[in-house]
Amino acid sequence: MIEAVLHVVLPCSWVTDVAAGLGATVTIIEQKPVGEGLLHTLVEIDPGHADPSAVVARLRKNPYVADLEAIVPPKGKILATLQVRDCHACASLASTECFLTDATASAEGGLDWRILAPKRQAIEDLVRTLRARGLEIELASIKTAKSSGSLTGRQDQVLSLAYKLGYFEFPKKINLSDLAKKLGVAKSTLSEIMRAGEEKILHAYFQGLMGRSR
């Protein structure tokens, strides 16, 4: 599996609006075209130090967001579905084998996209497609991602319980805070256990894709 960081400057500003404007981190979970130039986009947004309600309000005012439904907890990550219009970068990403793991505002302006892909060619194809659309793209880094092994017993326990209780459903049947209480751990500790476990699952998934393609 390949990890890459792309520095991008986008004319469609909905991600930049909340990332650069409010310091939020955006993770695009899934995108699919729904016709009339619209993309149905499922996102998870870490508001950072910003007010979660302010993040959602900023998105609602963005001219590229045609519609938005969001679950906004008092603290923690926002889960939202958006209808995004005329976003060439988003459309290009949705048509590739690449996954956007997060998008954050960069010090130079624009966004840093962190990308996972099953092979280097997928990253190179994405960069070529974005440049062909007239977008400003810089490939900041690209490397082979090293597998971190199988799930630990604790990671397996936590992710299995999260799955059974509906944490990964949309809308979520349980939030991170309530899951942490059930497990008797701090919310920050649980978040790190789940992040590490989810990363291992993604590694295994992509390794399987590469194995089948040979």
Top-confidence residue, 150 or 57? 57
Q: What is the mean pLDDT of residues 192-196?
A: 86
pTM for the structure as a whole:
0.56
Q: What phi and psi values does residue 143 have, to the nearest 5 degrees?
A: -155, 165
Domain coordinates of the chain in residue numbers?
2-144, 153-213
Question: For residue 60, what pLDDT is reported?
Answer: 94
pLDDT of 197 reads 85
Q: What digits encode the pLDDT tens for the residues 108-138?
A: 667 888 888 888 999 999 999 999 988 889 9
Poorest-confidence range of 15-29, 95-109, 157-171?
A: 95-109
Task: Work out the number of other CB atoms within 10 angstroms of the CB of residue 120.
Answer: 14
Residue 191, token pair as written in the block: 């978040």
pLDDT score, position 57: 95
